[in-house]
C-alpha cells in the first residue's frame, strides 16, 4: 500500500505525526509526504519535523503568502504532478486548510482515492474559509474518518449515506498526539508568571476585522489586570496589530512569537484557563482539563459546549469580560470526565481500516 500524505499547516503536522508513527509499524505500507509550505515559519513548520519525528517530506512545494484562490490553484497544479508520478493507493488529507482542499481536488480529478481525516466537522458559518474547505473535501472523499458522533451525524444529515463513500468513526488523532507528546512538553525560554491564562488569536474573522481585533485585545488588557495572559502571536497577527495601531502594552500581557507544539503543550498544561479562536486548542484544553473561552460565535466542537468545558464568548469586549467575571462559576460547572474523542487509538484504527479495504479489493479482483 502506498499513501500520499498532504500536509502544510501546524495542526496537520501534529495529526500526521501520530498517523505516520502508526504507518511505520506496518512494513507493507509506504508513506510519501508532501509539504505544501502553507506554513513556512520554522516555529510553525520545520520545528514539527525536528521535534515530533515526522518522516521528512519527499516533496516540499513552498507555496505560501498568496490569496486563497492562487494558493489553492498552485498547490493543485503541483500535487497533480506528484500523484501522476507516485501513483498512490490513497491520498490522505487532514482537516480544513487550503492544502487539504487542493490535495483532495487534485486526487479526485485523477481518480485517486481520497482519505479525509477529521471529516464531518461543521461550524455552519459559510463565511469561514475553513468551512468551505471541509465541506468540499468531505463531498469528494472516498473514506471519511470522523472524530466524533456529531461529525458522523453531520454527514448522515447531509445525505452521505446515499453517496459512494465510506464513513467511519475512529476517534481524534489529536487526542493520540496529546497523550503521547505531553510527556515531552518543553518550557518556553521565558520567565512565566506563576499563574496565567493562555490566549491565542489567529482566525481571519478576528484578525482581519479591526473592531473584533481591537475588542479582543481591549478585553485582554482588562483581564490581565486580574490574571496575567501569555499569548503566542503569529507574525501576521502582529503586523495587523501594528497596522491598526491596537494597544497591547501591559506588564501582564506576555506576547510571544509562535511556539512549537511541545512548548504549547507545556503552556496549556501550566495555565489556569484558555482564551482562543483555535479549533484545535479548544480540544487540547479539554484533553488537559482546562476551561476554554472561545472567541468566536460558533464552534465545530459542539460536544464541548454540552460539557460546559467550552464557553462561546464571541469577540465583543463586553461578552468576553462578562464570561471572565463569571469564571469561578464556570470552573465549577465544567465537566472534563466524558470520553468524547476516543481512547487514544484513532491512528491505529485508521491504518487498520485502510489495510482491510485494500485486502477486500484484492480479494474482489483475485477471489480465493
User: Which residues are identified as catalytic?
Assistant: 202
Report the run of H or E that residue 275 belongs to, with start and end: strand 273-276
CA separation, residue 208 to residues 110, 150, 165, 367 (Å): 36, 30, 37, 57
62 torsion bin: left (phi>0), alpha (psi -120 to 50), beta (else): left
C-alpha cell at 325: 467575571
DSSP of 184-216: G----SS---SS-EEEE---HHHHT-HHHHHHH
Q: Are 295 and 317 in contact (CB under 8 A)?
A: no
Per-residue burial over 265-290, b if 16 or more Cβ lie within 10 Å, else e, is bbbbbbbebbbbbbbbbbbbbbbbeb
**Is the Cα torsion angle 40, 10, 228, 221 positive or negative in sign?**
positive
Q: Please name which of 135, 124, 127 lies closest in space to residue 159, comparing C-alpha atoms.
A: 135
Burial of 85 (0-12, 13-18, 19+ CB in 10 A): exposed
Q: Count Cα neighbours of 246 within 13 Å in the Cβ-side half-sphere.
A: 23
Instruction: Name which of 332, 317, 95 is nearest 220 in CA terms.
Output: 317
C-alpha grid cell, residue 114: 481520497
The string of DSSP letters for 158-182 reads: TTGGGSS-EEEE---HHHHHHHHHG
Amino acid at each position: 500500500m502506498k499513501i500520499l500524505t498532504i500536509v502544510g499547516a501546524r495542526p496537520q503536522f501534529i495529526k500526521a505525526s501520530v498517523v505516520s508513527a502508526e504507518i511505520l509499524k506496518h512494513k507493507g505500507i509506504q508513506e510519501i509526504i508532501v509539504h505544501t509550505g502553507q506554513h513556512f515559519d520554522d516555529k510553525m513548520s520545520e520545528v514539527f519535523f525536528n521535534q515530533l519525528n515526522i518522516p521528512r517530506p519527499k516533496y516540499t512545494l513552498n507555496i505560501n503568502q498568496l490569496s486563497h484562490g492562487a494558493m489553492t490553484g498552485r498547490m493543485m497544479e503541483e500535487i497533480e504532478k506528484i500523484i501522476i508520478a507516485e501513483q498512490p493507493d490513497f491520498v490522505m488529507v487532514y482537516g480544513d486548510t487550503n492544502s487539504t482542499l487542493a490535495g483532495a481536488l487534485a486526487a479526485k480529478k485523477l481518480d485517486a482515492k481520497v482519505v479525509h481525516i477529521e471529516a464531518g466537522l461543521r461550524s455552519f458559518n459559510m463565511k469561514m474559509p475553513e468551512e468551505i474547505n471541509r465541506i468540499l473535501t468531505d463531498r469528494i472523499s472516498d473514506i471519511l474518518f470522523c472524530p466524533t458522533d456529531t461529525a458522523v451525524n453531520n454527514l448522515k444529515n447531509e445525505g452521505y449515506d446515499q453517496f459512494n463513500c465510506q464513513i467511519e468513526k475512529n476517534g481524534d488523532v489529536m487526542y493520540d498526539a496529546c497523550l503521547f507528546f505531553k510527556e515531552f512538553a518543553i518550557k518556553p525560554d521565558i520567565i512565566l508568571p506563576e499563574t496565567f491564562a493562555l490566549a491565542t488569536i489567529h482566525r481571519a474573522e478576528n484578525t482581519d476585522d479591526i473592531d473584533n481585533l481591537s475588542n479582543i485585545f481591549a478585553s485582554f488588557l482588562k483581564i490581565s489586570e486580574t490574571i496575567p495572559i501569555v499569548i503566542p502571536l503569529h507574525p501576521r497577527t502582529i503586523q495587523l496589530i501594528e497596522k491598526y495601531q491596537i494597544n497591547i502594552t501591559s506588564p501582564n500581557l506576555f506576547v510571544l512569537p509562535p511556539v512549537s507544539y511541545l512548548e504549547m503543550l507545556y503552556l496549556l498544561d501550566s495555565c489556569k484557563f484558555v482564551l482562543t479562536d483555535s479549533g484545535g486548542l479548544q480540544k487540547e484544553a479539554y484533553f488537559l482539563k482546562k476551561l476554554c473561552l472561545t472567541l468566536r460565535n460558533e464552534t465545530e466542537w459542539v460536544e464541548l459546549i454540552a460539557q460546559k468545558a467550552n464557553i462561546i464568548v464571541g469577540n465583543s469586549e463586553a461578552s468576553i469580560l462578562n464570561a471572565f467575571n463569571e469564571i469561578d462559576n464556570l470552573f465549577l460547572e465544567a465537566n472534563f470526565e466524558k470520553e468524547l474523542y476516543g481512547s487514544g487509538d484513532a491512528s491505529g484504527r485508521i491504518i487498520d481500516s485502510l489495510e482491510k479495504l485494500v485486502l477486500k479489493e484484492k480479494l474482489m479482483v483475485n477471489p480465493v
